[in-house]
Structures are given as structure tokens and as C-alpha cells.
């Protein structure tokens, strides 16, 4: 049996060597960890709560909420808010918030989210707080930052990180890509006349890079972002790329040294098999490891968006892998 297995392995390796590079890369992507229960989600943000449970918030509803005791079985727990905030209606007719981000700072959970309409950068990022992080306990504090049609950025897809004693929020989408502003750590809102830093873009319109998440590992800050097309079910081409910098505000470069402001970005995860359009990512810490949360469109379930979770590994040069 040992000889037969070895023969099969050698044959498989020979076949793989003949595949195109893209196919070889696809073969190397891991599937998400198996989960059960309520799997449907879009743009997930996940954190392990003080009570030991995991909560995931997402686009859909009034910020959809999921809970899990073990990071495997997830239950639908309604929404972060009981009803839309009135000010959201200035940005879309339905009061539909997008792409939340949850973090825990100084004894308080902070929830950031975007309100906008498809195809416009008349957008805003809101902020809410909670002592428990559970759905139904959030107090909304209004706008943290906004953008207008005259701006060259889009205030959606927020992600918050503390660095060098300051609080920062990355954000952005198709209006020139990923940006960043400094936040007031007391209010959670952008500081007055905040400088808008530019972190990543593409060389050609529509500059399809969005959904940032920044984490620190060792001496570097790592910018994860979603590239290409979202929200088209099995036709989605979302993929996750990454770059790094010694400064939270950049400049970020990929593994080959190409700046993310010049279209760079090392490919971390792309669609493969039934797992189409991997993106909308965030990163959270659990049991001493970094975990990548994202959505994919299930090609075996009519393109339904579902939760993907994979633990990140870090190579000897400090680059993340799966």
C-alpha cells in the first residue's frame, strides 16, 4: 500500500507540473474550515467576545448578526440594530448599512459601518458602541466620516486599527481605492480636517480595489484588500491581495516590492472550485492565531454568499499564507 500511495503521489505531482500557473495556484488554495448552522453572510467582521462566544456582523438586514460558541456552528441572531437610524436615509432610500467592522478598545466594542448607494460616492461611515458587543446593545453615535460626489474617494468599507498611540481608519472602494484617516480615540470620529492618506489603487479605471483590513505582525503592518468584482454571485471575481509597510499610513508594497499605489498586491486567496469570488475580508485574533474571515459565493448553492474562515500562517520572511 505504501508503494502504491507513493506512485500515485509522484504521478499527481507530474500532472500538476504540467498545469498552467493559474491552475497550479488554484490547486494550492485551501478550502475554508467546515462550518454549520447559519452560513449565509456577506462582508463578515468577526470577534471573540468577552463571554467566550464569537460574533459575526455583516452586510444585510440592519447589520446582520451571527453567534457561535465554537467558531463552527453559527446561529442567526437578528441584527445589530432594531431599526435603521434616520440619518442613514440621507445616503440610501432603504437605510441599508454595508460592510461593518468590529473592534474592542479600552473596555468597549466599536462597530463601524457604511451607508451608501450602488454606484455613488455620496457615502458615510457611522460608528456605534456597546459594552457587550451583542446584537441589540449598540448605541449609535452618527457619522464618523463621509464623502461627497466631489471627492476622489468613497467612504465605505471601514476598518479600524490602533497604531503608535493613535487610532486609524482605513476605508475605500472604486473611487481611487483605499484611503485612511486618523480618528479621535475618545469619540471614534475623524479628527478635524483629517488628512486623507492614500494606501492602494489600480492603474486603470474603475480602480477595483476595496474592503481593506490592516493588521500588525512583527515590525510590519499588513494591508489586506479585495480586488476586482463583488456581488455578482458565481460571476464574481473578488480575490484577496496583501501588501505591507513599516508605517500604518504606508507606503505599502507587495512581496515583489511593487507599491500598492501602482497596482501591486500579493495574491493571498482567489476563487477555486465551489468557492467563488473570495473577498469582503477581515482579520481577527483567536487562540494566539490570526484568522481570516471572508465571504465566498457557493457555486454548488446558486451563488449564495457564505462565511469562509481560514487561519493565517506567517512565513520566515513575515508574509502571510493560508
Helix (H, G, I), strand (E, B) or coil at 32: coil
Contact yes or no for 157/100 (Cβ under 8 A) = no
Query: Which sequence positions are flagged as catalytic?
Result: 43, 210
Grid cell locating 27: 490547486
Grid cell locating 288: 494566539
The answer for residues whose C-beta is within 8 angstroms of residue 221's C-beta and 6 or more apart is 161, 163, 214, 215, 244, 245, 246, 247, 248, 252
Rounded CA separation 181/163 (Å): 12
Rounded CA separation 220/252 (Å): 10
Q: Any idea what DSSP says for residue 28?
A: H
Rounded CA separation 43/164 (Å): 28
Helix (H, G, I), strand (E, B) or coil at 209: strand
Amino acid at each position: 500500500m505504501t508503494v502504491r500511495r507513493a506512485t500515485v503521489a509522484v504521478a499527481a505531482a507530474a500532472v500538476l507540473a504540467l498545469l498552467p500557473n493559474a491552475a497550479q495556484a488554484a490547486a494550492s488554495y485551501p478550502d475554508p474550515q467546515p462550518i454549520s448552522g447559519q452560513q449565509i453572510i456577506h462582508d463578515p467582521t468577526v470577534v471573540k467576545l468577552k463571554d467566550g462566544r464569537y460574533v459575526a456582523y455583516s452586510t444585510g438586514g440592519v447589520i446582520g448578526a451571527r453567534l457561535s460558541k465554537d467558531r463552527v456552528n453559527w446561529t442567526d441572531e437578528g441584527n445589530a440594530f432594531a431599526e435603521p437610524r434616520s440619518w442613514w436615509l440621507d445616503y440610501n432610500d432603504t437605510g441599508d448599512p454595508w460592510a461593518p467592522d468590529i473592534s474592542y478598545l479600552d473596555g468597549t466594542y466599536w462597530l463601524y459601518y457604511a451607508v451608501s448607494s450602488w454606484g455613488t460616492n455620496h457615502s458615510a461611515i457611522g460608528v456605534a458602541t456597546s459594552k457587550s458587543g451583542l446584537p441589540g446593545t449598540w448605541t449609535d453615535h452618527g457619522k464618523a466620516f463621509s464623502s461627497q460626489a466631489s471627492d476622489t474617494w468613497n467612504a465605505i468599507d471601514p476598518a479600524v486599527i490602533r497604531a503608535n498611540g493613535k487610532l486609524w481608519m482605513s476605508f475605500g472602494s472604486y473611487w481611487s481605492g483605499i484611503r485612511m484617516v486618523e480618528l479621535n480615540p475618545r469619540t471614534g470620529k475623524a479628527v478635524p480636517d483629517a488628512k486623507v492618506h492614500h494606501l492602494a489603487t489600480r492603474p486603470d479605471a474603475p480602480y477595483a480595489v476595496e474592503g481593506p483590513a490592516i493588521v500588525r505582525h512583527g515590525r510590519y503592518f499588513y494591508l489586506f484588500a479585495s480586488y476586482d468584482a463583488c456581488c455578482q454571485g458565481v460571476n464574481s471575481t473578488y480575490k484577496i491581495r496583501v501588501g505591507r509597510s513599516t508605517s500604518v499610513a504606508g507606503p505599502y508594497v507587495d512581496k515583489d516590492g511593487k507599491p500598492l499605489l501602482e497596482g501591486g498586491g500579493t495574491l493571498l486567496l482567489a476563487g477555486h472550485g465551489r468557492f467563488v469570488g473570495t473577498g469582503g475580508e477581515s482579520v481577527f485574533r483567536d487562540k494566539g492565531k490570526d484568522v481570516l474571515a471572508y465571504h465566498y459565493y457557493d457555486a454548488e448553492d446558486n451563488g449564495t454568499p457564505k462565511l469562509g474562515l481560514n487561519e493565517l500562517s506567517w512565513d520566515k520572511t513575515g508574509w502571510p499564507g493560508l
